[in-house]
């Protein structure tokens, strides 16, 4: 019996072990599946246990199958226990139905008790104790009812067996389940540790001690793939067996591992393939003995780089602070000094850094109360405070400082200190005082200029009006010299004003688009007058690649070059003055030009060069040459202001070279074909006749840049020889560019012979002469004028225009209209507002002479009244007037809607630009400086009024200016013109009817040249068109001849019987 019971218990223990293994495998899956499997498996276990029990009668067997129901209830819940019970009853019904009813009753009572205990008893041992006791109570009750167990000893045996077996099974089951839980927890910890090891940003490893070396037992981390390291290359290997490391690195690591094994923490940086790795070694102790070493490796490359950047930044900041010219002091919130830079130590005369000294002990501040208030404000408001403070240094001097207190905010948003920056205001104060002095000087100069310009306006204006009256030769000479002297004085005033502006840094440059060729052409026109009667050549060399439009200040460019050229002309008696422009470099958006003014004058010594650009310095020539000595100084400073440097090369007795380079933004590039004359009809053969070698070469280069074929002659004899000879290479001569002042030119006879030859062969002639030789040449030529007469010096643009107009009239570039004009119409009504009687007279008579209607107002109030009653086209407004000045008067005019469109032009002797801006802001349209220049005045009027075109005629004032005011020559020329062309159209009509086309063409061509020389532009244009018709469309000849007749008649009618004198604009 006992063997059977022991076997039954052993079989139950084996079943418990197997069922718990099955439970562990299924518990993470479906819960229903777990209940069914637990119920069936425990049912099978109960059936098996029932086969090996001890039968004590009435269907009661001593075995432990009831424990199987408890296990099913524990692992599968009440439903699992129910499945187990059903399994047992099914088997019992199939094999032994005796006492089935009794068994079912007992089983369901046990099932009910298991369900209640499972629901309400949470403690494991309490639940199991009650479950073990419950079958005993049921059996005892059953026995009382049915007296099933006859032997009391059997009942005790069964009870003890079930109690003991249930207790042991409960303990065994708890052990198995606890072990599994511990194992799962251990596995989770192991998994977590593995994931932590694998996913750490660096990598870690464990070293154990082998026989003779250290062996890697654990290794992992995210850094390993980045380093191309595999754990398999290290695990189980000693450090010597790792092939991924160099021998030098292995030796280094072995030393560190040995030190760590001795119990010393190790930390070191290791550089591998440009990356920096920080390694920490930590020894692990067991019973006080190091048994392993844990190592961790971190990539600190970026950290090191950041530290280096911070260190560099700190070093830069330190350098900035130490090299700063400001005093920089670091302070605690208690105003204790932490540090002072070198400038601060120097200013405060500290030998060394004062450590934690209070600021009051170092500085002697005049207003400590104000300082402390600002200091407290910076601390409390957490904002920068700026103020001025007077500080007395140890030398006893008091210095004004601009103080900046900047709070330093810590990580806890509390102030941890302040930085005080002290900027010395001494230089600024001196600059302000200098600026005020310069401003005062400028205002004084402007006042002086105003006071001088006002009487000069009367002197120059009245002198010009005087020239319009009948004067003797001596009186005219006196009047001319008055005007010349006045202009010299005016030039001196302008130079002094410019120098004053430059020295005060008040000179402002314009940035406007302009044509460089036009600006250079204007310079040549001015130089033609400046050269006077000197026997020198003035030469202008420019490249063909100059852009059409550049950005800069054309006025200051022109002023600079004119100053250099006038200086060169002044000191050159023989030879030449050359202005050369070279293209240094060019990009798509800008270019650099080098300007050179070269002369063959007296030159300069080294000592003179050293003082050349000093204002008012004139060397030893003041008595011989005159002048103020300001021109070169102004040119030097203007070049510097424009971004260049004026350089000088000179040799005593040889000559001088002044040069500078400037950059200009390009507004519009040039068309490479714009200078090409071959586009019109093939290469032109031009004969250049010039006795000056440099001038001849310059003219030749210009013509070659026009794609002309050029031959040269040094004198008239050589010219005639070349005209007679046949040139097989260049072909016949198309045009002659002729200097009329060559020595072997023998007056009218040479000229008459040249005209005969050239007209016979259809060769055009362009003559070159100075302004002062022109009169004699015109007289000498009689009626045989050249195709065009150019005044030296010659610019590229002027020469090209002459060729375009004369050689190819059908594609000519029409000559640009002059800025000055004569208005014959009486329809323009001007209001002159001027309180000074002399200025009234000058302006009024000048305007009347040019055909305007003029009304004069002596005050601003009178002007306002006249505007209400009189129709006015334009107002000329003086500025300084009593009671109501020009600005206030203009403001009053602009307030009236009816007068807002009337142009208002300021007439002032005030040269200050800021005042001019104020005039414009008040409503004025333009500003003209006194003394008044008639050409400028007319140009401004023309700009603001839609003028009616002047009728066809000869501009007598311009013609007189061209002839240098010589009215005798002008009268003679005009009389010859009237006599010669009074019956021109009648003769031309007869020649046309007789078919004498050659004579008509020659006469018309002569008329074109004469009209241009007399500046009768409309007549010249009509004759040119007639010439084109004669060549291309002879059917319309008579129609165009009638147009020539109409304009010729208007021109002849415009010539007065006798011209006494006209105002000539003096430049």
Radius of gyration of the chain (CA): 59
Q: Which two tokens stand for residue 685?
A: 């053969």
What is the per-residue pLDDT for 886?
Answer: 93
In a domain, 190, yes or no: no
**Of 962, 922, 925, the residue nearest 941 (C-alpha):** 925
Number of separate domains in the chain: 8
H-run or E-run covering 388: strand 385-392
Tell me: do 727 and 795 sit in the same domain: yes
Query: Does 824 map to a domain?
Result: no
Count other C-beta atoms under 10 Å from residue 842's C-beta.
Answer: 25
> Is 103 a member of any domain?
yes
3-state secondary structure (DSSP) of residue 638: helix
Answer yes or no: do 25 and 170 share one domain. Answer: yes
Count the residues in the chain.
1067
Q: Distances from the Cα of 377 to the Cαs of 254, 330, 374, 402, 1015, in angstroms?
A: 61, 17, 5, 17, 80
Q: Are residues 848 and 771 in the same domain?
A: no
Cα–chain center distance at 960: 53
DSSP string across 771-785: HHHHHHHHHHHTT--
Range list of β-strands (E), 119-202: none
In a shared domain, residues 381 and 497? no
Give the DSSP H or E segment for 420. Answer: strand 415-424
- From 184, 208, 234, give the residue that closes a domain: 184
- C-alpha distances out from residue 1046 to 746, 881, 1039, 1040, Å: 39, 50, 11, 10
In a domain, 391, yes or no: yes
Of 6, 386, 325, which is closest to residue 165 (Cα–Cα)? 6
CATH code, domain carrying 88: 1.10.1760
Query: 3-state DSSP call for residue 443?
Result: helix
Residue 771 lies in a domain: yes
Q: Within 13 Å of residue 788, how many CA atoms lie on the same side as its CB?
A: 22
| Cβ atoms of residues 928 and 937 within 8 Å | yes
- Rounded to whole angstroms, how far apart are CA atoms 804 and 420? 74
Q: Which of left, alpha, beta for 955 (phi over 0: left; psi -120 to 50: alpha)? A: beta
Residue 356 contacts residue 334 (beta carbons within 8 Å): no
User: Do 684 and 730 form a contact (C-beta atoms < 8 A)?
Assistant: no
Task: Please tell me whether residues 721 and 610 are part of one structural domain.
Answer: no
On whether both 496 and 515 belong to a single domain, the answer is: no
Angle value at C-alpha 342, between 339 and 347, nearest 5 degrees: 100
- Nearest CA-CA partner of 468 in 1066, 1057, 957, 1015: 957
Which residues span the domain enclosing 461? 430-502
Co-location of 486 and 554 in the same domain: no
Q: Which has the closest alpha carbon to 513: 664, 643, 662?
A: 664
Token digits of residue 345: 């130590």
Report the pLDDT value the prediction gives residue 714, as an integer from 0 to 100.
92
Contact 827, 871 (CB under 8 A): no
Beta bridge pairs of residue 591: 586, 664
Residues 6+ apart with CB under 8 A from 173: 16, 20, 71, 74
Candidates 628, 634, 608; CA nearest to 620 is 608
Encoded tokens for 934: 């008639």
Examine residue 39 and state whether it is found in any structural domain, yes or no: yes
Calculate the CA 286 to chain-centre distance.
71
Among 472, 502, 532, the domain-final residue is 502
Task: Give the Cα separation of 987 and 400 in Å (integer).
Answer: 93
Residues 434 and 520 in one domain: no
Residues 328 and 335: their CA atoms lie apart, in Å, by 14
Residue in 217, 198, 197 with CA at minimum distance from that of residue 207: 217
Domain boundary among 944, 972, 1004: 944
> In terms of C-beta distances under 8 Å and separation of at least 24 residues, what long-range contacts does 979-982 make, across chains too?
980/783, 980/1010, 981/1007, 981/1010, 981/1048, 981/1052, 982/1052
Per-residue pLDDT, 895: 92
**Considering the domain boundaries, does residue 519 fall inside one?**
yes
Does a structural domain hold residue 68?
yes
* Cα–Cα dist 165/761, whole Å: 151
**What is the phi/psi pair of residue 570, to 5°?**
-60, -40
Angle CA 643–648–654, to nearest 5: 155
- Residues 353 and 381 placed together within one structural domain of the fold: yes
Task: Return the C-alpha torsion angle 224, 229, 235, 237, nearest 10.
Answer: -140
Burial of 560 (0-12, 13-18, 19+ CB in 10 A): buried
Same domain? 646 vs 684: no
Mean pLDDT by 10 residues, the chain (1067 residues): 71 84 84 87 82 61 77 86 85 70 76 86 86 79 62 70 81 83 79 75 84 82 78 79 78 86 87 83 88 88 87 82 83 84 75 64 80 88 88 77 88 83 84 76 70 78 77 72 72 72 73 87 78 82 87 89 88 91 90 94 81 64 53 86 91 91 89 70 84 92 90 92 85 90 77 88 89 76 82 87 71 37 58 90 85 90 92 92 91 90 89 84 90 82 65 70 67 81 84 83 84 83 82 70 82 69 38
Whether 958 contacts 1016, CB under 8 Å: no
HSE, side-chain direction, 13 A CA sphere, residue 388: 9
776: which 2 tokens? 């004699």
> What pLDDT was estimated at residue 623?
44
Both 870 and 992 in one domain: the answer is: no
Q: What CATH number does the domain containing 435 carry?
A: 1.10.287.130
Token couple for 111:
């099932």
Tell me which residue of 57, 52, 46 sits closest to 143, measured CA to CA: 57
The single-letter DSSP state of residue 612 is: T
The whole-model pTM stands at 0.48
Q: Do 20 and 164 belong to one domain?
A: yes
């Amino acid at each position: 019996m006992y063997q059977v019971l022991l076997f039954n218990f052993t079989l139950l223990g084996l079943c418990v072990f197997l069922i718990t293994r099955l439970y562990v495998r299924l518990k993470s899956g479906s819960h229903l599946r777990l209940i069914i499997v637990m119920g069936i498996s425990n049912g099978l276990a109960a059936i098996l246990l029932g086969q090996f029990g001890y039968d004590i009668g009435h269907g009661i067997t001593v075995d432990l199958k009831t424990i199987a129901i408890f296990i099913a209830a524990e692992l599968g819940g009440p439903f699992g226990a129910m499945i187990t019970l059903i399994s047992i009853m099914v088997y019992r019904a199939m094999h032994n139905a005796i006492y089935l009813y009794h068994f079912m009753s007992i089983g369901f009572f046990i099932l009910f008790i298991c369900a209640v205990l499972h629901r309400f008893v949470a403690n494991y041992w309490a639940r199991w104790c009650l479950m073990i006791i419950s079958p005993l109570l049921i059996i005892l009750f059953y026995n009382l009812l049915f007296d099933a167990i006859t032997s009391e000893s059997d009942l005790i045996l069964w009870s003890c067996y079930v109690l003991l077996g249930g207790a042991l099974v409960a303990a065994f089951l708890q052990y198995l389940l606890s072990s599994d839980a511990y194992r799962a927890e251990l596995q989770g910890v192991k998994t977590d540790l593995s994931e932590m090891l694998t996913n750490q940003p660096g990598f870690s490893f464990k070293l154990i001690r082998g026989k003779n070396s250290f062996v890697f037992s654990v290794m992992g981390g995210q850094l390993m793939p980045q380093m191309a390291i595999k754990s398999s290359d290290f695990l189980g290997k000693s450090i010597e067996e790792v092939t991924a490391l160099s021998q030098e690195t292995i030796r280094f690591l072995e030393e560190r591992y040995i030190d760590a094994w001795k119990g010393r923490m190790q930390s070191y940086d290791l550089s591998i393939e440009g990356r920096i790795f920080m390694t920490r070694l930590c020894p692990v102790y067991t019973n006080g003995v190091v048994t392993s070493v844990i190592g961790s490796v971190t990539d600190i490359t970026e950290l090191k780089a950041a530290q280096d950047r911070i260190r560099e930044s700190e070093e830069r900041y330190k350098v900035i602070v130490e090299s700063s010219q400001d005093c920089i002091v670091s302070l605690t919130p208690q105003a204790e000094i932490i540090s002072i830079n070198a400038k601060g130590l120097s200013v405060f005369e500290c030998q060394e850094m004062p450590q934690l000294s209070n600021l009051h002990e170092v500085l002697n501040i005049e207003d400590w109360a104000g300082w402390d208030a600002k200091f407290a404000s910076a601390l409390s408001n957490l904002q920068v405070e700026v103020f001025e403070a007077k500080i007395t240094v140890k030398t006893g001097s008091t210095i004004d400082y601009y103080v900046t207190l900047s709070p330093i905010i810590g990580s806890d948003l509390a102030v941890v200190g302040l930085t005080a920056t002290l900027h010395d205001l001494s230089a600024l104060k001196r600059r302000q005082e200098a600026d005020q002095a310069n401003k005062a000087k400028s205002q004084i100069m402007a006042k002086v200029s105003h006071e001088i310009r006002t009487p000069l306006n009367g002197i120059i204006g009245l002198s010009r009006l005087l020239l319009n009256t009948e004067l003797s030769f001596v009186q005219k000479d006196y009047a001319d010299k008055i005007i010349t002297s006045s202009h010299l004085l005016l030039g001196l005033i302008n130079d002094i004003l410019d120098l004053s502006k430059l020295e005060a840094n008040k000179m402002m440059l314009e940035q406007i688009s302009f044509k460089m060729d036009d600006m250079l052409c204007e310079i040549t026109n001015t130089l033609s007058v400046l050269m006077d009667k000197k026997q020198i050549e003035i030469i202008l060399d420019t490249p063909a690649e100059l852009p059409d439009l550049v950005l800069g200040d054309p006025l200051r460019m022109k002023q600079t070059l004119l100053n250099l050229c006038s200086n060169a002309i002044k000191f050159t008696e023989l030879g030449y003055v050359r202005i050369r422009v070279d293209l240094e470099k060019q990009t798509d958006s800008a270019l650099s030009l080098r300007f050179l003014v070269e002369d063959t004058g007296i030159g300069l010594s080294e000592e003179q060069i050293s003082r050349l650009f000093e204002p008012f310095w004139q060397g030893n020539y003041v008595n011989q040459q005159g002048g103020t000595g300001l021109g070169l100084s102004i040119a030097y400073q203007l070049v510097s202001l424009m971004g260049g440097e004026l350089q000088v090369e000179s040799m005593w007795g040889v000559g001088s070279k002044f040069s500078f380079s400037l950059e200009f933004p390009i507004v519009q590039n040039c068309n490479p074909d714009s200078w090409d004359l071959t586009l019109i009809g093939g290469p032109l053969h031009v004969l250049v006749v010039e006795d000056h070698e440099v001038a001849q070469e310059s003219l030749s280069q210009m013509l070659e840049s026009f794609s002309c074929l050029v031959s040269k002659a040094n004198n008239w004899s050589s010219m005639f020889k070349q005209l007679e000879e046949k040139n097989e290479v260049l072909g016949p001569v198309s045009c002659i560019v002729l200097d009329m002042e060559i020595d072997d030119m023998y007056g009218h006879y040479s000229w008459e012979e040249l005209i005969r030859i050239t007209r016979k062969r259809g060769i055009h002639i362009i003559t070159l002469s100075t302004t002062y030789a022109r009169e004699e040449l015109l007289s000498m030529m009689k009626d045989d004028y050249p195709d065009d007469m150019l005044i030296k010096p010659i610019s590229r643009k002027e020469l090209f225009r002459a060729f375009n107009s004369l050689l190819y009239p059908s594609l000519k570039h029409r000559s640009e209209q002059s800025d000055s004009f004569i208005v014959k119409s009486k329809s323009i009504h001007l209001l002159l507002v001027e309180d000074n009687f002399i200025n009234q007279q000058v302006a009024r008579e000048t305007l009347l002479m040019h055909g305007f209607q003029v009304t004069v107002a002596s005050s601003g109030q009178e002007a306002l009244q006249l505007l209400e009653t009189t129709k006015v086209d334009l107002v000329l407004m003086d500025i300084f007037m009593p009671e109501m000045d020009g600005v206030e008067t203009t403001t009053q005019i602009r307030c009236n809607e009816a007068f807002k469109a009337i142009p208002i032009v300021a007439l002032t002797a005030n040269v200050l630009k800021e005042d001019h801006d104020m005039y414009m802001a008040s409503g004025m349209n333009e500003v003209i400086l006194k003394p008044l220049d008639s050409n400028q005045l007319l140009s401004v009027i023309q700009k603001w009024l839609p003028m009616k075109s002047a009728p066809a005629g000869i501009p007598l004032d311009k013609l007189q200016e061209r002839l240098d005011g010589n009215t005798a020559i002008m009268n003679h020329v005009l009389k010859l013109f009237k006599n010669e062309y009074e019956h021109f159209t009648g003769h031309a009509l007869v020649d046309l009817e007789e078919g004498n086309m050659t004579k008509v063409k020659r006469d018309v061509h002569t008329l074109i040249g004469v009209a241009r020389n007399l500046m009768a532009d409309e007549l010249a244009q009509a004759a040119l068109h007639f010439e084109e018709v004669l060549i291309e469309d002879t059917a319309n000849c008579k129609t165009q001849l009638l147009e020539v007749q109409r304009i010729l008649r208007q021109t002849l009618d415009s010539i007065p019987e006798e011209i006494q004198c006209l105002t000539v604009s003096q430049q």
